Amino acid sequence: MDHFQYRSGEMFAEEVALSRIADDVGTPFYCYSTATLERHYRVFAEALNGLDAGICYAVKANSNIAVIATLARLGAGADVVSIGEMKRALVAGVPAAKILFSGVGKTQAEMAAALKAGVLQINVESAPELETLSNVASSLGIDANVAIRVNPDVDAMTHEKIATGKSENKFGVGWPDVPGVYARAAALPGIRVTGVAVHIGSQILSLDPFRKAYGKVVDLVGTLRAAGHGIEHLDLGGGLGIPYAGEQPPTPEEYGNMVKDVVGDLDCKIFFEPGRLITGNAGVLVTRVIRVKKGTARSFVIVDAAMNDLLRPTLYNAHHAIVPVIEAPDGANNTEVEVVGPICETGDTFGKQMLPEPGEGDLLAIRTAGAYGAVMASVYNTRPLVPEVMVNGADVLVIRERITVDDMLAREILPDWLASG
Ligand SMILES: *Cc1c(COP(=O)(O)O)cnc(C)c1O
């Protein structure tokens, strides 16, 4: 359920017509709905009722500080994977004590900054990272709260680029090495072992891989406790999928019940790191048709948004539903068109869509663009980053301004040996 709905034939974000925002800020732009963000957070939180749970929103899905702050106000913590994301979470009002620091390549500077800020826990992904963290923490005189991220060698059955829990993936400590890494952690200065972390991938559409991975973690906790390690936290990651094109992912309630079933009796505080589930359907990318080109095979609808603004279709072959902002008149037929951007890459396409054929100047809304959308944007083809707009009831605010080409050029330097004399 989201709050992007037609009213008298026009797509609204809550109380605000998308066409009005387009007139005010120009296209393309991302638009987020506060009510949708809040709803998704609450539904997930309610699904965990009865567990001693902490929800740490995975900031990388959508890291705009207004989005993080919206969730922080509801009690969300944050899962961050860089010091930049940590700063965002802190600026957005997430207390350090609710920030989990994840990531496969933390630098010493990032470790030091996280420790000084006093984050809840650092999720360590390898034996050498543990040694480095021990050195950094000892030199600061701070004990690092540490969970080891384990790799359960479970296939998440998702797109290969977002599967993270197989033994061939770069993430986590390989299953056979886990007991040894915990033993080492217990012996190292500056390290305080608090828990076990696992995250097997993203856009997961079945409970089975979660159940398998969490079951293995439960067995592991038994083994680790028997070896004398104090395991207080379980971090079960994110990854629950959402519908983009009619998929039927498990509901948060089904997911919550499975978790209660598998790990409910462990006497641990359980952290969750949902990203996509919270923000995906809370955002659209609004774009204007530049022109329609009749190809030999089909019509190409060339729009002013492109792969640099929303990378998912070309990166993951992902499908996003595209709808007209002004509904076509009754009786207009859908035809197959391909919606493409202006970039000089064949991969710059939003895919084939069944749409009433749009005309030049029409607005389209690319749906389910709130997660892994704006955060993955680049400036390829010198296309400046587009604005992000947040709606809250009848209120609208630009929460990130459009970058201009002049802003971009101002950061580049023409060497004086090239200056014409
Ligand atoms: C990306 C990521 C998440 C969030 O994944 P979603 O599929 O967006 O829920 C959670 N935890 C970690 C460690 C991640 O890397």
Domain ranges, ordered by start, for the chain: 4-32+280-410, 103-272
Reported as type and span, the H/E element at residue 151 is strand 144-151
Pocket probe for ligand 1: among 44, 157, 196, 199, the residue whose CB has the most ligand atoms within 8 Å is 199
Reply yes or no on whether the pLDDT at 180 is more than 90: yes
- Would you state the pLDDT for residue 259? 98
Binning pLDDT at 50, 70 and 90, where does residue 297 land? confident
Average pLDDT (289-301) is: 92
Stated pTM of the model: 0.97
- Would you state the pLDDT for residue 27? 98
Give residue-wise pLDDT tens across range 58-113.
999 999 999 999 999 999 999 999 999 999 999 999 999 999 999 999 999 999 99
Average pLDDT (49-64) is: 97
Beta bridge partners of 296: none
* 4-32+280-410 CATH, one of 3.40.50.2300, 2.60.120.10, 2.40.37.10, 1.10.3720.10: 2.40.37.10
Domain 103-272 has CATH 3.20.20.10: yes
Give residue-wise pLDDT tens across range 356-374.
989 999 999 999 999 999 9
Note the helical H segments in 78-168: 83-91, 108-117, 127-140
Closest among 257, 309, 317 to 283, alpha carbons compared: 309
- Would you state the pLDDT for residue 193? 97
**Ligand 1 midpoint to CA 63 (Å):** 13
Which residues lie with the beta carbon below 6 Å from any ligand 1 atom? 58, 60-61, 79, 102, 199, 202, 237-239, 273-277
Is there a shared CATH topology between the 4-32+280-410 domain and the 103-272 domain? no
Binning pLDDT at 50, 70 and 90, where does residue 421 land? low
Reported as type and span, the H/E element at residue 183 is helix 178-187
Average pLDDT (402-415) is: 95
Q: Three-state SS for 362?
A: coil
The closest-lying atom of ligand 1 relative to the alpha carbon of residue 202 is: 7
